[in-house]
Amino acid sequence: MTRVTVWNEFRQERSDPVVGAIYPDGIHSAVADGLREAGFEVRTATLDEPEHGLSEEVLAATDVLTWWGHVAHDEVADDIVERVHRRVLDGMGLVVQHSGHFSKIFQRLMGTTCNLTWREAGERERLWVVDRAHPIAEGLGESFVIEQEEMYGEPFDIPAPDRLVLIGWFQGGEVFRSGCCYQRGRGRIFYFQPGHETHPIYFHSDVRRVIANAVRWAAEPMGAALAFGNRKVPPEAG
Amino acid sequence: MTRVTVWNEFRQERSDPVVGAIYPDGIHSAVADGLREAGFEVRTATLDEPEHGLSEEVLAATDVLTWWGHVAHDEVADDIVERVHRRVLDGMGLVVQHSGHFSKIFQRLMGTTCNLTWREAGERERLWVVDRAHPIAEGLGESFVIEQEEMYGEPFDIPAPDRLVLIGWFQGGEVFRSGCCYQRGRGRIFYFQPGHETHPIYFHSDVRRVIANAVRWAAEPMGAALAFGNRKVPPEAG
Amino acid sequence: MTRVTVWNEFRQERSDPVVGAIYPDGIHSAVADGLREAGFEVRTATLDEPEHGLSEEVLAATDVLTWWGHVAHDEVADDIVERVHRRVLDGMGLVVQHSGHFSKIFQRLMGTTCNLTWREAGERERLWVVDRAHPIAEGLGESFVIEQEEMYGEPFDIPAPDRLVLIGWFQGGEVFRSGCCYQRGRGRIFYFQPGHETHPIYFHSDVRRVIANAVRWAAEPMGAALAFGNRKVPPEAG
Amino acid sequence: MTRVTVWNEFRQERSDPVVGAIYPDGIHSAVADGLREAGFEVRTATLDEPEHGLSEEVLAATDVLTWWGHVAHDEVADDIVERVHRRVLDGMGLVVQHSGHFSKIFQRLMGTTCNLTWREAGERERLWVVDRAHPIAEGLGESFVIEQEEMYGEPFDIPAPDRLVLIGWFQGGEVFRSGCCYQRGRGRIFYFQPGHETHPIYFHSDVRRVIANAVRWAAEPMGAALAFGNRKVPPEAG
């Protein structure tokens, strides 16, 4: 069974009553509940645990990691970022959520700033499936709506995705590449835009469906480990 | 100097007074005027000319072909489509406009239906640049507006573009991959969505800019001709 | 269970004693045997059957079609090519083998000539996995060898693959993009270069493994059918 | 005129007589000479200069940076790597040469280990053009030979290139993705494999041609600077 670790910064839920009212047990609990319903084996980890809850043992026992962070990206220790980075390249899947676009681990994997435009106005968003045949779109209609969401808009400073699955339409006039697939080393990465902390987005059925699909996709077999280095004998040595 | 042939079906301008009022000399004249202003050497060709105006001689003297068609795609003769197809693979650039998504030549090059959703309601469209570093985006702001346009929406049944430059936002709630780059053989192809015949879109300065940029991009050197077939002597024969 | 139809031209096995000695029951039998061993439900179809063995009923009951053709591409009826094309866009997987690069169906899907260079000299080929994390590479080592194969070399006139999984190295000095993945419509397509008729390539264990992996990959769920056309009511109509 | 800064580690030329005999004035001098012949305005910079020769002023006056490093990647200061990284994302082109695959700047931009296999045996390499229509291939034949080169082989742990222009064939049986294009932010990056220090590769006319083409390509206009951050007023605010 696919083993998922749901990581969350877990700060605003405790400091901001608006967020705390929506997610009294933390965003990670809502994400984890959705994934458990979808049949995954789920644990959670948060910033203020030792090693941010991401020990070597935890990562070794994780097939897919989901990541939510916002106000404390800088507090994630560099050596933990390195550890997660190595695990992704070695085949662990990674689902980066919403404001996680600015996390150290996503920037590290993308090689770009991952900057974007944004606006907090509780706008209506409609997400369109532009790659219907991708496993992450399974079970979705042609589009789905989030009644209130923070606007995330282009430009979005990422490498062109290997596959672009979702494009977001915002009431205020913007569009956004909201569902982006990448392969890095043996690991699969999915960036998924919805998830602002002041709206109950992780209870939304289609958002949960996308996250579950993304976990399933990112957990697929990643091939044998790669052997690098000096290959002294030519394979075609006479 | 880059030599452009602007091709137009040129039917609705003569049969539909609304269209005729906007484009009394045909859509091709408006497109050609924009390209002449941008410094290109331009000729036009239309469906009802012999060989649709696309003789071997014309194509041989064409660096980039632009294509507008709508109600008479089926009347374009298959052998002319084959001729254009060969020329594109041999290095001629092609800029496919608006309803040209359903032209035989675009379907032939894409290998898919190129189908989409649409709505004629004169909606406001905002086109966002999502690949600011692409030459086709040169001189554009982060987005530009077309006050009234036919809605073209996802799903759009095309191969994933080699580069996606523009995404359209429509007032009614849709998004569309509005500026798509492809390489096929030695030829470069750009699909550009705006251009409904009942709105004066080919007089719009940013639309003209995109078309001129696309022509410039599609006309770039395409490398030496390729030699295929039986290579009897191995290059590494001892 | 995934239902595979193995299509073969089945001419040279009957006309050329060298080929007939290797594949007395036809190339399709060898390919089908390999796929049955891998656990698929397999039927075969050949050129000289009515409708080339590819009736609407057969295609409707086919999840993945494999295609081998060489000397009689022109004898494949255009309406059957159209039928296969529609089925692929509607979600049927397609595995194109070796000289099938010049089949009408592959050219139709690619939009290019699919031309290449070649040499019949029974050269040694080594196929390298360049995308180890792709499901089609599952179970392969870092490379595998075919003792004698027709050389297929670059240039290969195809659209840049969505994913390039294998590159072939040939004794005579050439390289070739030997394993190429494409998505077209809802259908997945894999081109796999090995398979010259004068060598017993379809009995090779790693060749069989790649074909089985490709069938498994191409058979994956392809999402809901797409609805195109006039969407009269804007989704965001107030 | 395009301004190029040729960066070189410049250590082995001074410590290893074999290397010093080939490049008495350093690899950077040979690379710079080739680029001057091609008409560029060239300066050089090396590791042991203050700030590695890459001050803010130098980078601000550089359109394209070329990078050769091998034994001292770790000595490149992290803050200089950050500075170069920012400049690339802001539009400066970068041509990474040979063992520069393991440089901090290339790893930073790619987000992967950039590891590979290698063998020092002075093998013959033949580089094949697989994307003849790309500007970096301009003027090349279908392949070109380097008589003696270090073998670099797959697997090569990089993101799938945006465009793959060259594939290397090695005498000992390997292949390698030898010419790879990337876009990151507003900057264009080209990785080019040839260039082992014990062979006179930077005097080779086709190697020089590729580097000059790559510089020309990487120097192309990169679009307007991107504006990120809070966009308080919706563009479609009524």
Per the CB < 8 A criterion, the answer to whether A1 and A40 are in contact is yes
Rounded to 5 degrees, what angle do the CA atoms C149, C155, C160 make? 105
Question: Distance between CA D78 and CA D81 in Å, rounded?
Answer: 5
Question: Distance between CA B73 and CA B52 in Å, rounded?
Answer: 12
Helix pair A27-37, A205-218: axis angle to 10 deg:
70
Of D142, D141, D136, give the one whose Cα is nearest residue D161: D136
CB contact D235 to A (< 8 Å): yes
Residue D162, judged by CB atoms within 10 A of its CB (0-12, 13-18, 19+), counts as middle
pLDDT of residue B96 exceeding 90, the answer is: yes
Which residues of chain D neighbour B235 with C-beta distances below 8 Å? 126, 143
Burial code (b: 16+ CB inside 10 Å, e: under 16) for B128-153 equals bbbbbbbbbbbebebbbebeebbbbb
Please write the tens of the pLDDT for every residue from B140-151: 999 999 999 999
Mean confidence (pLDDT) of chain A: 96
Tell me which of A112, A170, A233 to substitute to probe the interface with D (most D C-beta atoms closer than 10 Å). Answer: A112
Q: Three-class SS string for C180-230?
A: EEEEECCEEEEEECCCCCCCCHHHCHHHHHHHHHHHHHHCCCCCCCCCCEE
At D238 the pLDDT is 58
Task: Provide the shortest C-alpha distance from residue B188 to chain C (in Å).
Answer: 11
Please write the tens of the pLDDT for every residue from A178-220: 999 999 999 999 999 999 999 999 999 999 999 999 999 999 8
CB contact D123 to A (< 8 Å): yes
Residue type, C125: E
Residue type, D46: T
Asked if B155 lies within 8 A of A163 by C-beta distance, the reply is no
> Average pLDDT, stretch A134-159?
96
Please tell me the total number of residues recorded for chain D in this structure: 238
CB contact C24 to B (< 8 Å): no
**Torsion of Cα atoms, D195 then D198 then D204 then D208, to 10°:** 30
**Torsion of Cα atoms, A31 then A32 then A36 then A39, to 10°:** 70
At A191 the pLDDT is 98
Model confidence at C180, in pLDDT bands (50, 70, 90)?
very high
Per the CB < 8 A criterion, the answer to whether B167 and A154 are in contact is yes
Mean confidence (pLDDT) of chain B: 96
CB contact B184 to D (< 8 Å): no
Q: What percent of chain D has pLDDT over 90?
A: 93
Asked if B164 lies within 8 A of A169 by C-beta distance, the reply is no
Mean confidence (pLDDT) of chain C: 96
Which residues of chain D neighbour B181 with C-beta distances below 8 Å? none
Task: Provide the shortest C-alpha distance from residue A151 to chain B (in Å).
Answer: 14
Please write the tens of the pLDDT for every residue from C10-41: 999 999 999 999 999 999 999 999 999 999 99
* A76 Cβ neighbours under 8 A, 6+ residues apart: A47, A52, A69, A103, A104, A105
At D223 the pLDDT is 79
Task: Provide the shortest C-alpha distance from residue C130 to chain A (in Å).
Answer: 10
pLDDT of residue D61 exceeding 80, the answer is: yes
Helix pair B205-218, B27-37: axis angle to 10 deg:
70
pLDDT of residue D76 exceeding 90, the answer is: yes
User: Which chain C residue has its CA at the smallest distance from B89's CA?
Assistant: C112
At B26 the pLDDT is 98
At A238 the pLDDT is 58
Which residues of chain C neighbour B172 with C-beta distances below 8 Å? 234-237
At B222 the pLDDT is 75
Considering the entire predicted model, what is its pTM?
0.97
B68 phi, psi to nearest 5 deg: -125, 120
Model confidence at B238, in pLDDT bands (50, 70, 90)?
low
User: Which chain C residue has its CA at the smallest distance from D167's CA?
Assistant: C175
User: Which chain B residue has its CA at the smallest distance from C115's CA?
Assistant: B228
Sign of the CA dihedral running A130, B155, C188, C175:
negative
Compute the 3-state secondary structure of chain C and give helix, strand, coil in percent, each to the nearest 5. 30, 30, 35
Model confidence at B78, in pLDDT bands (50, 70, 90)?
very high
Of D133, D171, D223, the CB nearest to B223: D133
* C156 Cβ neighbours under 8 A, 6+ residues apart: C101, C114, C115, C116, C176, C177, D130
Q: Three-class SS string for chain A?
A: CCEEEEEECCCHHHHCHHHHHHCCCCHHHHHHHHHHHCCCEEEEEECCCHHHHCCHHHHHCCCEEEEECCCCHHHCCHHHHHHHHHHHHCCCEEEEEHHHHHCHHHHHHHCCCCCCEEEEEEEEEEEEECCCCCHHHCCCCCEEEEEEEEEEECCCCCCCCCEEEEEEEECCCCEEEEEEEEEECCEEEEEECCCCCCCCHHHCHHHHHHHHHHHHHHCCCCCCCCCCEECCCCCCCC
Of C120, C85, C96, C102, give the one whose Cα is nearest residue C199: C120
Chains that touch B (3 or more CB pairs under 8 A): A, C, D
Asked if A231 lies within 8 A of D117 by C-beta distance, the reply is yes
At C238 the pLDDT is 58
**Torsion of Cα atoms, A43 then A49 then A51 then A52, to 10°:** 60
Coil, helix or strand at residue D157: coil
Q: What is the bridge-based pairing of β-strands B64-68 and B3-8?
A: parallel
Please write the tens of the pLDDT for every residue from D120-134: 999 999 999 999 999
Asked if B223 lies within 8 A of D183 by C-beta distance, the reply is no
Asked if A174 lies within 8 A of B128 by C-beta distance, the reply is yes
CB contact C160 to B (< 8 Å): yes
At D225 the pLDDT is 80
The tokens for C221 are: 């769920």
Please write the tens of the pLDDT for every residue from C42-60: 999 999 999 999 999 999 9
Question: Distance between CA B168 and CA B156 in Å, rounded?
Answer: 12
Task: Provide the shortest C-alpha distance from residue A185 to chain C (in Å).
Answer: 8
The tokens for A212 are: 């579950």
Question: Distance between CA B156 and CA B178 in Å, rounded?
Answer: 10
CB contact A155 to D (< 8 Å): yes
pLDDT of residue A140 exceeding 80, the answer is: yes
Question: Distance between CA D133 and CA D130 in Å, rounded?
Answer: 9
Question: Distance between CA B153 and CA B173 in Å, rounded?
Answer: 9
Per the CB < 8 A criterion, the answer to whether A93 and A218 are in contact is yes
Cα–Cα distance list, B25 to A108, B8, B46, B66, D61 (Å)? 55, 11, 12, 17, 49
CB contact D234 to B (< 8 Å): no
Which residues of chain B neighbour A142 with C-beta distances below 8 Å? 154-155
Among all chains, which residue has been given the structure tokens 């979600």? C91
pLDDT of residue B23 exceeding 90, the answer is: yes
At C31 the pLDDT is 98
Coil, helix or strand at residue D133: coil
CB contact A89 to C (< 8 Å): no
Tell me which of A85, A154, A226 to substitute to probe the interface with D (most D C-beta atoms closer than 10 Å). Answer: A226
CB contact D15 to A (< 8 Å): no
Asked if C133 lies within 8 A of A91 by C-beta distance, the reply is yes
Burial code (b: 16+ CB inside 10 Å, e: under 16) for A55-84 equals eeebbeebbbbbbbbbeebeebeeebbebb
Model confidence at A76, in pLDDT bands (50, 70, 90)?
very high
User: Which chain C residue has its CA at the smallest distance from A222's CA?
Assistant: C133
> Average pLDDT, stretch B190-209?
98
CB contact D113 to A (< 8 Å): yes
- What is the CB neighbour count within 10 angstroms for residue C136? 26
At D226 the pLDDT is 77
Q: What percent of chain A has pLDDT over 70?
A: 100
Task: Provide the shortest C-alpha distance from residue A137 to chain C (in Å).
Answer: 7
Question: Distance between CA C98 and CA C196 in Å, rounded?
Answer: 7
Which residues of chain C neighbour D155 with C-beta distances below 8 Å? 129-130, 132, 142
CB contact D175 to C (< 8 Å): yes
Task: Provide the shortest C-alpha distance from residue C186 to chain A (in Å).
Answer: 5
User: Which chain B residue has its CA at the smallest distance from C232's CA?
Assistant: B119
Asked if A126 lies within 8 A of B173 by C-beta distance, the reply is yes
Asked if B163 lies within 8 A of A160 by C-beta distance, the reply is yes
Which residues of chain A neighbour B167 with C-beta distances below 8 Å? 154, 167, 175, 177
Please write the tens of the pLDDT for every residue from A108-128: 999 999 999 999 999 999 999
Q: Strand pairing partners for D182?
A: D189
CB contact D39 to C (< 8 Å): no
CB contact B206 to D (< 8 Å): no
CB contact A238 to D (< 8 Å): no
CB contact C35 to D (< 8 Å): no
pLDDT of residue B224 exceeding 90, the answer is: no
pLDDT of residue C90 exceeding 70, the answer is: yes
The tokens for B172 are: 């009614």
B101 phi, psi to nearest 5 deg: -55, -25
Asked if A126 lies within 8 A of C91 by C-beta distance, the reply is no
Coil, helix or strand at residue C237: coil
Comparison of pLDDT for D206 and B237, the residue scoring more: D206
